């Protein structure tokens, strides 16, 4: 797997802290710094997600992918899956994630709650590289709501 991240350069009178990532699969992702960075000229323009937001989003995508795939392989009639991630980061550098909570909402027909619980556990214990990696610095908790379709 590879990715190239490039600074988009100055913008107008501001230094600009935008970046574009070009992934090995041929996709691009924009990132930008927070406008309220500590020193003038170090901030972004709020044109794209922050880099750490993309880490959190990628982790959500990784685990949601696993949960849907595990349920489908179990021949469950899964029709929707969302995961809302909330986090706490360290106050000083490096501002690693300290706590992450993942709240899943799974929609389907006749899916047993135990199957959803098992799929989430399998993702976090075995398959989701992102959450397993982040689990080295963050306490990760999960919960779920099952909606009958």
Give the per-residue pLDDT at 137. 95
Q: Give the pair of three-digit tokens for residue 36.
A: 């309220």
Range of the domain at 119: 51-148
Residues 5 and 43 occupy one common structural domain: yes
Give the per-residue pLDDT at 41. 64
* Least reliable range by pLDDT among 45-49, 90-94, 98-102: 45-49
27, 6, 26, 25: which is closest to 17 by C-alpha? 6
What is the rounded distance in angstroms from the CA atom of residue 128 to the CA atom of residue 3?
Answer: 19
The mean per-residue pLDDT over the stretch 90-114 comes to 97
Residues 95 and 134 occupy one common structural domain: yes
Residues 81 and 112 occupy one common structural domain: yes
Residues 56 and 36 occupy one common structural domain: no
Q: What pTM value is reported for the model?
A: 0.90
Residues 74 and 30 occupy one common structural domain: no
The helix/strand/coil state of 43 is coil
pLDDT digits (tens, 9 = 90+) for 114-135: 999 999 999 999 999 999 999 9
Radius of gyration, CA atoms only, the chain: 18
Domain total for the chain? 2
Residue 75: partners with Cβ closer than 8 Å, 6 or more residues away: none
Q: Give the pair of three-digit tokens for residue 41.
A: 């000229």
pLDDT digits (tens, 9 = 90+) for 3-57: 999 998 776 555 678 899 999 999 999 999 888 765 666 778 888 999 999 999 9
Residues 21 and 36 occupy one common structural domain: yes
């Amino acid at each position: 797997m590879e990715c190239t991240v490039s600074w988009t350069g100055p913008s107008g009178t501001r230094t600009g802290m935008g970046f574009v990532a070009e992934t090995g699969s041929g996709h691009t992702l924009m990132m930008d710094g927070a406008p309220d960075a500590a020193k003038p000229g170090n901030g972004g323009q709020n044109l794209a997600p922050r880099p750490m937001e993309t880490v959190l989003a990628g982790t959500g995508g990784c685990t949601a992918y696993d949960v849907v795939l595990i349920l489908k392989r179990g021949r469950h009639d899964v029709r929707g899956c969302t995961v809302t991630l909330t986090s706490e980061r360290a106050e000083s550098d490096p501002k690693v994630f300290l706590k992450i909570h993942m709240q899943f909402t799974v929609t389907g027909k006749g899916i047993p709650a135990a199957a959803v619980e098992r799929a989430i556990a399998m993702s976090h214990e075995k398959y989701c590289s992102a959450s397993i990696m982040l689990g080295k610095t963050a306490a990760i908790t999960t919960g779920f709501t099952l909606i009958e379709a």
